Amino acid sequence: MDLDLRDKAALVTGASRGIGLATVKALTAEGARVVAVARTTTKELAATGVTVVHADLSTAEGAHTAVDGAQDAVGDLDVLVNNVGGAVGDMAGGFADFDDEKWHAVWQLNFLAAVRVIRRALPGLHRTRGAVVNVSSIGARMPGQGPMPYTTAKAALTAFGTALAQEQGRHGVRVNTVSPGPTRTGLWIGESEAGARLAAARGVDQETLARQVLAELGFTTGRVIEPEEVAAAIVFLASPRAGSTNGADYHVDGGINRAP
């Protein structure tokens, strides 16, 4: 299916690996002019050939750098994908293990980064009548199934997307959310530092951790989610083919969230 994204200007944050990298590749395959934002350029990101802007999105200055750099490269944005997020340091503890500094750091990256990037990009999105996709987490709907600072920040991001969609729809800007479950290279599963620490805290290797998570969360698909599967949902929601979808929260979660 042609998603009508050829020559559209797109910005993807957290683009060096995982879901962000898969989204960069999917948008590029659709013919979009993509700018990737990451703190560093990985070999895999460099191989895509897209423009890369280096920025730390846990800071206000980083959000400005990201959007201004993207607009310098491709003009006003038609598509904005807020994917940056994840664990900050050791996230294996319970409530009493997270001090104010840890809460602040997690919320900066997983919530306020998206707020700041959208604010900076919004005038251009008004001009293009563009689309925003925020990458949240199924943890927003199941907050007891992950580190508390992370899941509550993602819950805020999901609520923010719904509210912003209602406000910005009259300006022609659509805002939707994609909520993945445990994804390879994500917070709980894969080769990430957070996954390694969680496995160590349980005293198991990461393959065993993957099997435990599948069993505990009750994946109806019986396997870990692949980044490309999440990226497919993101790119569809960003495209004109989803022109009547606004304020939605798409779950790509292997069936673990059974709430109606």
* Dist CA 21 CA 228 (whole Å): 9
Cβ atoms of 173 and 122 within 8 Å: the answer is yes
Alpha-carbon distance values, 85 to 47, 71, 107, 150, 169 (Å): 23, 22, 9, 9, 25
Closest CA to 179 of 140, 121, 153, 130: 140
* Dist CA 143 CA 154 (whole Å): 9
* Residue 131: strand, helix, or coil: strand
Catalytic residues: 150
Reading the block at residue 104, the tokens are 């602040």
